[in-house]
Amino acid sequence: MTKKKVKVEICVGTTCFLLGASKLQEMERFLPPDLTGRVEVQGTACLGCCRNDNFGSAPFVKVDDTDVIANATLEKVINRVRRSLNL
Amino acid sequence: MIMKVANNAERIRRELLIRIIRNFMRGTLKDVIDRIAVDMRPRKERPSRCCVYKDRAVLKYRVMAMLGFGIEDEIDEAKALSKYLKEATERQAPDDNILSVLDVACSACVESQYLVTNACRGCFARPCTFNCPRDAIQVVDGQARIDHSLCIDCGKCTKVCPYHAIIRVPIPCEEACPVNAIKKRSDGTQVINFKSCISCGKCMQACPFGAILERSQIIDVLNAIKKGKKVVAMVAPSIVGQFPGKLAQIAEAVKLVGFELMEEVAHGAQMTTEHETKEFFEHMEQGDHIMTSSCCPAYVETVKKHVPLLQPYVSDTPSPMRFTARVVKEKYGCDCVSVFIGPCVAKRKEAQRSPKVDYVLTFEELGSFFAAMNIDVASLKGIKLPRKVEGYARGFASSCGVTSAMLKESTKTVADSNLDNDAKFINGLDQKTVKQLHLYGKGKLPGNFLEVMACEGGCVGGPCVLGDVKLATRAVKASTEE
Ligand code: FES
């Protein structure tokens, strides 16, 4: 049985790109060993979250098509992925 | 070597820029400008310096620099930012000095020194004590100790220690400055000597406290747009690779911001190439031993202020920015406002001496315009560019690009050119390469054409870039082959 993969969409819209998303794009390289192969990282166009005055919470990352993480950091994303996988 | 890393200071700067631009566009800036610091650092949150109040004070000064003012010029500490804003919107031209040290943020790094870390094992061989020419090291309680009154900073101990236990703690800005233009005051904070400063922006990039600020011209540009003037964006060739998106999409984004249109400075680079190639052969005919490039303004300033011997050999050819501005003013009328947009601090200085260039913005500032106005470059359709530009001219953005453009040009005009045999490069200015420049001036080094870029990697490695240098270099390369 192939193991379930978690979809991680990193917003590379201009605002998120400027405020730190460019770094997150390489997150696959920094995954802890138990998560390698369990995450599917993609870039996505502006998620629309930067529109209001909360652009200060960029970069945004979407996990599992539903959950949007604000002020995304590698650590936050990894924790969220773990939750999805019940690890 | 300094490395450009994503960091907290950079994030704060961009967030501030976005807030300022967004509120200016909405017409609310004068009401909110004095609140920005409080909004960004509410009392409940954890401060990044000693307390929120210091954080707020630093933010206030950052805003001041973004409005175009130098911290050195502050007379009344209680003066509100809204007052500065009013002055900024009324001024005719930006100020002369373009960098400013924020003494409140400067942590007054310790005088650079050698330090024994606790990796020291107090070993039996003790090469540090034996190799120190001043006998400044003793082993006390099983640890080497340096007597700083005797130490002459020669660094021998760091080289001989088998545990690499002795390190040098530098002052990052001083180490980064190629010409020793930044020094300590008696209170330990740094100050820039503008008489020797070459405006390369390396200190700004190097400071871990974000204490060196650039005096921005965003308000001047915003103002011109608001007044309905014809504002033309002249983007440097290094724009390729700075945004997720193609040139045609960037051109559309630039228009959406309110610029009349986007012209590529790469077009000016074509003219620079033609002119500079001719000039090179003239120099050679005259019997000169060398000619050097002149498109990097920080390098030109270095020669002018520090290497007079090399001055006669710097090419007189106008830079791509100047050629482009000339074309822009001819084509769109002399009352249009020309804005150079690039990765460079020193271009602000060059622009002050070029009557046809009105303002200079950085890529970071342009990106903040996009973000402030919710323009997502990558999802735009893209528009037609105003003119076709030769691929080689885009190569000016990375190191060695000038030479390869000239080579192409010279094979076109002269059948057997001797340019290729003897072109040399200086890829990034630092204290060592400035010494090399002296030798080139004296004719003690081989080569008949010297291309100098103050930033490592060329303009794509500039102090105000957004993209990663390696990726950007690749993007530029690809664009030269288009
Ligand atoms: S750019 Fe990321 S949400 Fe808009």
Mean pLDDT per 10-residue interval, chain B, length 482 residues:
56 92 94 92 81 90 95 90 95 84 83 87 93 94 91 91 93 93 86 93 91 94 95 94 89 96 93 90 88 94 96 94 96 94 95 94 96 91 89 80 78 58 85 93 88 92 85 84 72
Q: What is the pLDDT of residue B92?
A: 84
**Same domain membership, residue B119 and residue B100:** no
> Is A63's pLDDT higher than 80?
yes
> B160 and B98 in one domain?
no
- Residue B203 shares a structural domain with residue B314: no
Residues B210 and B224 in one domain: no
Spell out which residues line ligand 1, taking CB within 6 angstroms: A 11, 13-16, 46-50, 58, 60
Identify whether the C-beta of residue B390 lies closer than 8 Å to the C-beta of residue B259: no
Q: Which residue would you say has higher pLDDT here, A56 or B222?
A: B222
B428 and B456 in a single domain? The answer is yes
- Whether residue A25 is predicted with pLDDT greater than 80 in this model: the reply is no
Question: How many structural domains is chain B composed of?
Answer: 3
Examine residue B428 and state whether it is found in any structural domain, yes or no: yes
Tell me how far the alpha carbon of residue B20 lies from the centroid of ligand 1, in angstroms: 18
Report yes or no on B142 lying in a domain: yes
ipTM: 0.82
Phi, psi of B449 (to 5 degrees): -135, 130
Domain that holds residue B131: 113-169
Nearest to B480 by CA among B425, B419, B405, B413: B405
Q: With respect to residue B129, please indicate whether it lies within any of the assigned structural domains.
A: yes
Nearest to B368 among A12, A18, A43 (CB): A18
**Same-domain pairing of B149 and B207:** no
Helix (H) / strand (E) element for B426: namely strand B423-427
Q: Number of Cβ pairs closer than 8 Å across A and B?
A: 58
Residue A41: what residue type?
V
Distance A66 CA to ligand 1 centre (A): 15
The CATH number of the domain where B152 resides is what? 3.30.70.20
Look at residue A53 in the predicted model and tell me its pLDDT.
67
Mean pLDDT in chain A?
A: 85
> ∠ CA B254-B244-B363 to the nearest 5 degrees?
50
Is residue B3 one of the residues assigned to a domain? Answer: no
One domain for residues B381 and B462: yes
Say if B373 falls within a structural domain.
yes
B260 in any annotated domain:
yes
Q: Are residues B135 and B192 in the same domain?
A: no
Domain assignment present for B196: yes
Q: Where are the alpha helices (DSSP H) in B148-264?
A: 156-160, 172-176, 202-206, 218-226, 247-257
Q: Could you tell me if B288 and B344 lie in one domain?
A: yes
B248 and B182 in a single domain? The answer is no
Shared-domain flag, residues B295 and B393? yes
Distance between CA atoms of A15 and B152, rounded to whole angstroms?
49
Q: Which of A9, A17, A51 to mutate to test the interface with B (most CBs of B within 10 A)?
A: A17
- Indicate whether B161 belongs to any domain: yes
Q: How close A73 gets to chain B, by Cα (Å)?
A: 13
- Are B29 and B96 members of one domain? yes
